[in-house]
Structure 1
């Protein structure tokens, strides 16, 4: 099985919301759980995940406050990490993830150009 490439979304201004979020986590065990889950994702093991709306998908990690990682699939091989959060910020995070994915598609893939 081929390894899946994982990229991290970057805004036009150079911000990487997923990296900002993960670096802000206070508990090292939480970061370790997330990084382990991403390693499994690279191997094609998506685990507990679901497709949400407008191309955004959610990885759920049953640890602490209910960690969520939001991503978009680009082709068959690349997962674009958009942002992360927990159950308490889920609705806001999903809206941000949809905005980030639309931005990526318009800038990087040329979609949405008139």
Structure 2
């Protein structure tokens, strides 16, 4: 779990690491440790990143659906 926190801290410092766009504005940050942790996020402008959901490889499809739903509910308020 410490590597997941480390990945979040790296993102805060401006280094996204191993990530890829998933669907719409949702992207996935991959942590290559244990069960294959995944963090789902959207970017707002050049600075703000909103963490939507997280899980591991075994729950990936469900986690992506949830992240996409949450992203659609965010609107442009951020």
TM-score (norm 2): 0.94
Q: C-alpha separation between the residues in 1 aligned to 2:4 and 2:17?
A: 12
Segments of 5+ residues of structure 1 without an aligned counterpart are 1-29, 110-114
Q: 1:54 aligns with which of 24, 28, 36?
A: 24
Q: Give the alignment of 1:73-92 within 5 angstroms.
A: 73-92=43-62
Root-mean-square deviation (CA, aligned residues, Å) is 1.1
The structure showing larger relative contact order (alpha-carbon pairs under 8 Å, at least 6 residues apart) is: 1
| Structure 1 runs of 4+ with >3 Å offset | none
Shift of the alpha carbon at 1:42?
1.1
Q: C-alpha separation between the residues in 1 aligned to 2:46 and 2:17?
A: 17
Q: C-alpha separation between the residues in 2 aligned to 1:76 and 1:45?
A: 12
Q: C-alpha separation between the residues in 1 aligned to 2:8 and 2:18?
A: 12
Shift of the alpha carbon at 1:35?
1.1
1:72 aligns to 2:42 (yes or no): yes
Larger Rg: 1
Segments of 5+ residues of structure 2 without an aligned counterpart are none
TM-score (norm 1): 0.65
Aligned pair count reads: 78
| Higher strand residue share | 2
